[in-house]
Structure formats: structure tokens, C-alpha cells
Amino acid sequence: MLLNVQDVSLTLDDQSILDGLNLQVAEGDIHSILGINGVGKSTLAALLMGLGGLRPDRGRILFAGEDIATASITERARRGLTLAWQSPASFQGLTVRDYLTLSVSHGNANGNIEQNLRMVGLSPGQYLDRFVDDRLSGGERRRIELAAVVTMRPRLAILDEPDSGIDFLSLDEITGVIRHMNLQGTAVLLITHREEMALMANRASLMCAGMVIASGEPREVTAYFREHCDECKHPNMPDLNGVADELQLGI
Amino acid sequence: MNYSSEFEAIAQAYELSGGDANLLESDAVASLVVSGNKVLGCNEIPGVHMRSQETERGVRVWLKVDAGTTLEQPIHLCFGVIPQEGFQEIISEYDIGDGAQVEFLSHCSFPNAIDVTHVMEANVRVGTAASMTYSETHYHGPQGGVITRPKTRATVGPGGRFLSHFKMIEGKVGELDIDFETELGPKAVGEFTTKAHGKADDTVKVREILYLRGEEARGLTKTNVVVTGRAHSDVYTEMHGLAPHTRGHMDCTEVVGDRATAKNVPVVLVTERTAKVTHEAAIGSVDHKQVETLMARGLSEDEAVDVVVEGLLR
């Protein structure tokens, strides 16, 4: 198993954010995580990457068999884990070329930055010398973030809502990039609340109240999500028996 | 040191600060080369007149650009002190004739400095509809034993433009004390951009004042200073909106790291109701999200901070 999250809990400001969470992502998987806003999806992404000094209160995060729960962000990245932010940072004075080139420095990188930029629907001629600053739209910035991850070619990429703010026409491009990434050998943990995105995965997990309450076939998990979670029927109190009965999946 | 070896030494220093030393020997490019208090080279081209006089502590320079002259290549100025100790005082007069368009690239290099003082006092007159861009880059060695005091007093005629870009981000700053004041006539434009990176016990002091005296004059100061270690920065900017429809903006960003400290004082004075002067000031540490983003690509924390700081000062 490439990523094995075992019984992880996290409390912030006396509030339980993750509560005994378990998750497994295999080498070569595209694994989507579904859940409504506020169930802890982005916090899970931050914890896996070690952002903001986050460390689990309990449990283990095994990456390629090694516990990375206390490793720095850099160590995690050099082992082959990275994250594409939902709202990526802007950088004054750093061009797209500089930014993508930085991703080439470590690991198993794919240095063809022009091709990677084209893949996310941006013309190298128009974008390579532009700055990665506030003059780019949110959509452009997210595409560049994806291009950076493609360039880095990590073992596991956590993509935090890469479809956020992207129209349906562009969705095909984004899923194409994720598939390409996967074919290049990158497993993908895809955080989303969009069913059509979740369906591109070969495995899906459903999060509720800081827990993974089901994992299985994306079609079944998204159907349950549509039926029970789009309008949450049991706020902050996951219906563990219900989901188990309906999906007959492991909890 | 004889002439040729001194020229070679100052040319090498010039390249350390980012200049192209070949241009200092080109007949097609106006240039002035000063090492300590010696003028090692002075090349005039049509429309550009230079006169220099060596003084006990430096050099006096008079530089005149004829009205209507448009230069295709910048005028290159090279100032430096090669020994570890020294004092260099450059007192200069720049007279840019009406309608002239000229750019200066000034490189100041003190690669071996342990105890060097570099004083620049410039009086600048930019004529009607003339344009002068002055870009100054410094290179100081790792010891940072340099006191740098650039002082400029400028007047810009109707429709004229004076753009000054000052950069000191390589090597150790030492003590920097910038003092710029500019008076802008009707429809004139004045712009100061200052970028500096203070490290260890460096001090960066910036004082920039723009007087928007003529109708529709426009002014901008943009100051980016990064201080790390125990360095200190102190930025004072002042803009006076004194005539109808004048526009001004002051933008200061100071980034502090380690035990460094920073201070910013923007002052706005408006005496005309149709004038508008604004300011933005921010002092903060290096953005955490930027650093974490780069770390997630495999950079160490120090490498990530360097990339963010270099971008800010670019």
C-alpha cells in the first residue's frame, strides 16, 4: 500500500476535526474522497502533507511503509508526496517558467515544462514568462498548479478540489491531466465534492464528521453521496449502520 | 596599481554588479568609469557631453544631454572602490535637455569592502517632455563594510518623466541611507522604485519625497525591503499633492525574518481638493503558504524562503 492512514485523529482548538480516520491508497490508484463542506477533507490533505506543522494526535500515516507523521513537508515531498492546493499561493516576481522549473529539481521529474503547460490548456508562448502573481485568475493559477505537479511526477499527488471554479467544458481537460499523471506512474488522491470528478477514480471514499465512513466502487459511493449527503440527513453524526447496509462496504 | 590593472579590476567589479564590461570600452556607448577618485574612462557620443574633475575624496561630474537627443543604448556609469578601505564621493549634475530620451545604467561595486564609504550627491534637471530613467544596482562583498549614501534632488519639467530604480540585493548591504526628493511640473511623472535586502546587522534607511507641484503631475514610490538576521529597515515616504488633478501613490512592503525589525512611515499632504494621493504599507514575515507550496515541491525551508524573497526583490 502506498498510503496507509491508520486510526488518525486530530483536534484543533478543542474541536475534533479527524476522528479515527482510516484510508488506503494503492500504488497506481486514482482514489477520490467525497464529502460535503466541513467534513475535514482539506484538513486531511493538510495533515498528510504536514502543512502548518499539523501532526496527528493519534494514529499513523504510512507512506511507502514509512511513518511520515512527524516528517517535514520537504521530507515528504522528497519521498514522493505532493499537494496541489485548492487556492494556490501567488508569487511576486516568479514567472511560470521559474515556478515549473522548481518542480524539476527533486525526484523523478518530467522536465518538459512546455508540454506540461499545454496539457493543462495554457499556451507556453503566452504563459511561460508571465508572473505567478495576483494578475492570474484563480482558474489559471489552478491549472499552473496542476502543471507543476505533472512536472514533479510524484509517487502520490493529493489534489484538493482541482475542479473548484472550473466550468464543465474544462472538466474534461482536468480529468485528462489526472489520467495522464496516473499513466506516468503517479497515484492520485482526489478530493472533491463533484460526482463527475469522483467517478473518474477507480476507488472512492466517503468522509463524514472527520471519518472515512465507506470506501469502495466510485459509482456506489457517489450514488450514496447523492442520496444522503448532498442534503445531509444527519449533520455531524454519521449514519454508520445506514451506509454499511446500503453499500455493503467496509467501514 | 597602474591604469590598465585598475581598469581591469573595476571592470571585473562592474560585472559582479551585473554590468557588461565590454560596453565600457565601446566607442558607440556613452560611459564613465570611476575607481575611487580616479576617472579611468569617459566616453562621449553625439548629443551627450560629460566633464569630470577628480577631487580629494572623489569626483565631480557634469553630464548634459542635448535637447531632442534620443539614445538607443543606455549611458553606462561604473563606480567602485577596489581596496578594502576607502572613501568615494561622487557629486554630479545631470541636465537632460527638452525632449531628450535617455536611460542610465549605473553599477556600483565594492567587492572587497571592509570600511568603505560611498556618497553620491546628484542634482538632476529633466527638461520639458524629456525622459530620464536611472537604474542603479549595487554589488557589495560578503563583509558588507560599506556605507552608501545616495542623495538626489531632481526637478522635472512639464510633461517630463524621471524614473529611478535602485537595487541592492546582492552581497551584504552594510549601511544604506537613501535620500531622494523630486519636484514635478505640470503633467510630469516621477517614479522611485527601491529594492534592498538587508542581512545580519545591515541597516536600510529610505527617505523619498515627491512634490506634485504642477497640474496633473503623477508620482509613485514603490519600496520593497527584506530584512533578515538582526537587520533593520526604516522607510519614510512623503507625497505632496499641491496642484489640481495630481495623482500619487506610495507602496511599501517590508518583509522581516529572524530578529530583524522594520518601520514604515508614509506621509500624505494634499492642499488641492482635486488631488488624490494614496498609500499602502505592509510589514510582515515571508508568506507561510508560499513557503509551504515550494517545500511541497521538494525545496528546503531555507531554499523556499530565498525563492520568495528573490521574487519580491526582482
Distance from C-alpha of B179 to C-alpha of A216, rounded to nearest angstrom: 68
- Report residue A251's pLDDT band, with 50, 70 and 90 as the boundaries: very low
pLDDT of residue A206 exceeding 60: yes
- Report residue A244's pLDDT band, with 50, 70 and 90 as the boundaries: low
Contact residues, A window 92-111, toward B, CB-based 8 Å cutoff: 92-94, 98, 102-103, 105-107
**In A, which residues are within 8 Å of B225 by CB distance?**
none
The mean-pLDDT minimum among B37-41, B94-98, B244-248 falls in B37-41
C-alpha cell at B194: 527601491
**Residue showing cell 488624490:** B276
Give the best residue of A49, A91, A97 to mutate against chain B (max B CB count within 10 A).
Answer: A91
Cβ contact, residue pair A105, B298, below 8 Å: yes
Nearest CA in chain A to B288: A52
Question: Domain residue spans in chain B?
Answer: 3-313
Q: Are B194 and B179 in contact (CB under 8 A)?
A: no
Using a CB–CB cutoff of 8 Å, tell me whether A243 touches chain B: no
A162: closest CA of chain B, how far (Å): 15
Number of domains chain A contains: 1
B256: amino acid identity, one letter: V
What does the pLDDT average to over A188-201? 92
Give the best residue of B297, B308, B313 to mutate against chain A (max A CB count within 10 A).
Answer: B297
Residue A46, domain extent: 3-247
Of B289, B300, B312, the CB nearest to A89: B289
pLDDT of residue A245 exceeding 70: no
Q: Report pLDDT digits (tens) over B114-123.
A: 999 999 999 9
CATH number at residue A29: 3.40.50.300
pLDDT of residue A250 exceeding 60: no
Q: Are B197 and B185 in contact (CB under 8 A)?
A: no
List, in sequence order, the alpha helices (H) in B260-300.
Answer: 288-295
Q: What is the residue-wise DSSP string for A133-169?
A: STTS-HHHHHHHHHHHHHHH--SEEEEE-TTTT--HH
Q: Are B168 and B141 in contact (CB under 8 A)?
A: no
Q: Are B192 and B164 in contact (CB under 8 A)?
A: yes
What is the value of ipTM here, to two decimals?
A: 0.93
Nearest CA in chain B to A156: B296
**In B, which residues are within 8 Å of A72 by CB distance?**
295, 301
pLDDT of residue A122 exceeding 50: yes
Nearest CA in chain A to B313: A93
Closest CA to A114 of A131, A98, A97: A97
C-alpha cell at A30: 486514482
Q: Are B293 and B264 in contact (CB under 8 A)?
A: no
Q: What residues contact residue B292 under an 8 Å CB cut-off, 6+ apart?
A: A49, A51, A52, A73, B304
What does the pLDDT average to over B81-102? 96
pLDDT at A238: 67
Q: Report pLDDT digits (tens) over B101-147.
A: 999 999 998 989 999 999 999 999 999 999 999 999 998 888 778 99
Q: Output the pTM of the full model.
A: 0.79
Dihedral, A66, A68, A73, A78 alpha carbons, nearest 10: 0
Cβ contact, residue pair B298, A49, below 8 Å: no
